[in-house]
Structure 1
Amino acid sequence: MYRTMDFIFKDVIDLSGNSLGFISDIILNFNNKKIDGFVITPNNIFKKVLNVHINDVVNFTSVIIVTAVSRGEYLQFEHIKNMNVVDKKGDLIGVVEDMLFDKKEFSIKAVILSIGFINNFISGKKILLVDDLILGDKNLLYRGKNPNLKFFNSAHKLLKREES
């Protein structure tokens, strides 16, 4: 599984080896639950922002190699980051912090929610499956049965080595 942060600030070059810039955001297709591509911010302030479709990416390593770029406005992760997630009653479940998506198909699997700094540390973050979410103008609506899916932070126990 990938997270959005796995791609942010990765360098992008074309097939000729020319630097196009770095990835600044991810392009989403929330209806199809897919990652459509990436937003490339050029290193030069006089150049405009570019987009690359996921099918135009040749290599995903420390440097991303692409065959073609385009321009346009699309739904980006930054548009839903920090968006409130509410249940059917209107109660706040959490705030969108990150997304998990498949490595091969780039299909969105889940959304990671923050429930506050202290609560994240004590209880862990919540993870909701994207199939249970509906994207609205101002909120994400959770229509699933159990909003309590969580990861827990736990302290590691240090074992004392016995000397012989």
Structure 2
Amino acid sequence: MYRTMDFIFKDVIDLSGKMLGFISDIILDFNGKKIDGFIITPNNIFKKTLNVNIENVVNFTSVIVVTAVSRGKCLQFEDIKNMDVVNERGELIGMVEDILFDREKFSIRALILSTGFINNFIKGKKVLLINDLILGDKNLLYRGKNRNLEFFNSAHKLLKKEKS
């Protein structure tokens, strides 16, 4: 699984080796539940941002090689980051912090939610499956029904082995 931080600030070059800039965000297709591409911010402050589709990416290493770029407005992860997630009763579940997506097909699997600094430290962050979420204008609606199954992202606890 990938997270957004696996791509942010990676350098992007074209096939001729020309530096285009670095990845600053991810392009989402929330209804299709997939990552469509990346936003490239040029190193030159006078140039505008570029978009690259996943189909136009040749190589995913420390440097990303692309065949073509475009311009235009699209839904970015930054548009939903820090957005509130509420349940059907209007109760706040958390805020969107990160996204998890598949390595091969770039399909979105889940969103990682922050539940507050102290809660994150004590209980861990929540992970909600993408199939249970609906994107609205101001927040995300969680319509998950299975209360017996909850995912958390927390630190591992080390247990001391007792000597017998």
Fold match by TM threshold 0.5 = yes
TM-score by length of 2: 0.94
For residue 155 of structure 2, the aligned residue among 153, 156, 162 is: 153
User: 1 CA distance for matches of 2:154 and 2:42?
Assistant: 38
2:27 maps to a residue whose letter is I
Aligned ranges 1:14-163 → 2 under 5 Å: 14-146=14-146, 148-157=150-159
Unaligned 5+ residue runs, structure 1?
none
Unaligned 5+ residue runs, structure 2?
none
2:84 maps to a residue whose letter is N
Post-superposition shift, 1:46? Answer: 1.0
Contact 1:123 1:152 in 2 (8 A): yes
Post-superposition shift, 1:145? Answer: 1.4
Post-superposition shift, 1:43? Answer: 0.2
Post-superposition shift, 1:158? Answer: 5.7
User: 1 CA distance for matches of 2:160 and 2:18?
Assistant: 49
Post-superposition shift, 1:150? Answer: 1.7
User: 1 CA distance for matches of 2:132 and 2:114?
Assistant: 17
TM-score by length of 1: 0.94
Contact 1:58 1:64 in 2 (8 A): yes
| Identical residues among aligned pairs (%) | 73
User: 1 CA distance for matches of 2:146 and 2:92?
Assistant: 14
User: 1 CA distance for matches of 2:154 and 2:111?
Assistant: 16
User: 1 CA distance for matches of 2:137 and 2:39?
Assistant: 22
Runs of 4+ aligned structure 1 residues displaced above 4 Å come to none
Question: How many residues get paired?
Answer: 161
